[in-house]
Amino acid sequence: MHQLLLLRHAKSSHKDKSLADFDRPLAKRGRRDCKRMGKWLSRKGIMPDVVISSPSKRTRQTVKQVFKQVGKIPSNVQWENEVYDASAKTLLRLLAELPEEAETAMLVGHHEGLESLILRAIEWSEIPAVSKLIPTAAIAWLEIEGEWSSITQSTVRLKSIARPREVGGKELEDPS
């Protein structure tokens, strides 16, 4: 069984209007939320074998800030241009290319691609009734039975979605 963590980048700053979307840094709230999510990963004892991330400024900063809290940056971080503005289909293809010996992987990206991937990969009955499925800095934790290339609704189970506002209290856990 594989573990897949989908991390949406933390809140970005819109202060400098001259910056392209790709170049926007984290906002103060984003940096605070990275600390919360890093502490959550640390409490859960989760360390990905591989991280695939968009190379945008805010995703790079999110990865660095989250793992700073964990106390260790994963040794295998791949900055993939394709993750920026990716469709679920593109993200599934990148995941299918992961080595089978990687038990736990993290994909760090952007709202539309990650949410589309979740909606495509899990059954509707597993989707929690919330206003935002994966807000900034949230982590969706999925379990995958079988190979990385076999991600389908029949092989994926949503274990939890941890959101920055909830990690000190409740998080959406699978009751089973």
The whole-number pLDDT of residue 171 equals 45
For the segment 137-158, the average pLDDT, to the nearest whole number, is: 90
Provide the number of structural domains found in the chain: 1
The tens digit of pLDDT for each residue in 29-79 reads: 999 999 999 999 999 999 999 999 999 999 999 999 999 999 888 889 999
Average pLDDT, the chain: 89
CATH number at residue 111: 3.40.50.1240
What b/e string do you get for 115-153 counting C-beta neighbours within 10 Å, with b at 16 or more? bbbbebbbeeeeeeeeeebbbbbbbbbbebeeebeebee
- Single-letter residue type at 79: W
- Single-letter residue type at 98: L
The tens digit of pLDDT for each residue in 85-99 reads: 999 999 999 999 999
Domain region containing 119? 2-13+22-173
